């Protein structure tokens, strides 16, 4: 059984990742794949509990290091319980956020720096690397407006409060943005940067192009094995 393909989606809050991951999943299913879709934080029973703790705006005074440790606790659990077994079984895994989020938000936004994040990733996550990362970076203003609108709607509909990050100031998001760009420049072979204010269809097309290339690449690699 050949190993599955691990694809992550990254971007600022409100960048449209969730819509795109659902469309990509449908696209893959239409081509006979059975992708596993998951997200971070969350995606396991333990992870969902960590998610409510870390995203709830009532979690006041959470130290940046504690926040980062919780993100990694969630991730280590997700890798062990969901991601690694699926990859071993040859499945495509689509993950909404992964360690690039920790590097961008805690490393950049919270100013903890990249090296501690990368080191923890090696220690706690076996340095698991995505085969492909789709980084959606529409205009900062547009992203923030969408995130505010969406979180307000979620709170109105079911009382869930996932606003802790949305309450951050613009300077925080600029640092997150900057760090994402740094990651893309550092790892051009893994990270496909999709920037600008594109329509949902245009973003989907870019994503499909990048994923098709990777899939063709892994089939070629199998044939030459």
Residues that bind ligand TYD (CB under 6 A): 13-14, 17-18, 39-41, 55, 71, 97, 101-102, 105-106, 147, 162, 165
Minimal distance, residue 25 CB to ligand TYD, in Å: 15
For residue 198, which phi and psi values (nearest 5 degrees)?
Answer: -90, 160
CB-nearer residue toward ligand TYD: 73 or 215? 73
Give all strands of the β-sheet with 36-39 in edge-to-edge order: 36-39, 93-96, 6-11, 132-137, 191-195
DSSP string, 153-166: HHHHHH-----TTT
CB-nearer residue toward ligand TYD: 2 or 152? 152
Residue sitting closest to ligand TYD (CB): 105
Any bridge partners for residue 132, and if so which? Answer: 7
Minimal distance, residue 31 CB to ligand TYD, in Å: 26
| CA separation for the pair 54, 172 (Å, rounded) | 17
Minimal distance, residue 223 CB to ligand TYD, in Å: 36
CB-nearer residue toward ligand TYD: 68 or 211? 68
Cis status, amide bond into 41, omega within 30 of 0:
yes
Minimal distance, residue 14 CB to ligand TYD, in Å: 6
CB-nearer residue toward ligand TYD: 3 or 122? 122
> Residue 9: which of 188, 129, 134, 195 has the closest Cα?
134
CB-nearer residue toward ligand TYD: 140 or 215? 140
| CA separation for the pair 18, 196 (Å, rounded) | 17
Minimal distance, residue 100 CB to ligand TYD, in Å: 8
């Amino acid at each position: 059984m050949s190993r599955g393909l691990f694809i992550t989606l990254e971007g600022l809050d409100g960048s449209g990742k969730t819509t795109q991951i659902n469309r990509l999943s449908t696209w893959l299913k239409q081509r006979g794949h059975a992708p596993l879709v998951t997200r971070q934080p969350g995606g396991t029973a333990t992870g969902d509990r960590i998610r409510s703790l870390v995203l709830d705006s009532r979690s006041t005074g959470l130290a940046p290091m504690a926040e980062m440790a919780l993100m990694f606790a969630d991730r280590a659990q997700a890798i062990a319980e969901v991601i690694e077994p699926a990859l071993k079984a040859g499945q495509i895994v689509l993950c909404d956020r992964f360690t690039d989020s920790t590097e961008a938000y805690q490393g950049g936004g919270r100013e903890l720096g990249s090296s501690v994040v990368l080191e923890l990733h090696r220690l706690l996550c076996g340095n698991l690397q995505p085969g492909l990362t789709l980084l959606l970076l529409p205009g900062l203003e547009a992203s923030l407006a969408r995130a505010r609108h969406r979180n307000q709607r979620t709170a109105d509909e079911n009382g869930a409060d996932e606003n802790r990050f949305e309450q951050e100031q613009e300077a925080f998001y600029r640092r997150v943005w900057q760090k994402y760009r740094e990651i893309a420049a550092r790892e051009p072979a893994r990270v496909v940067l999709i920037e600008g204010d594109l329509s949902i269809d245009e973003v989907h097309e870019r994503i499909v192009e990048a994923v098709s290339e990777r899939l063709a690449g892994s089939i070629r690699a199998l044939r030459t094995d």
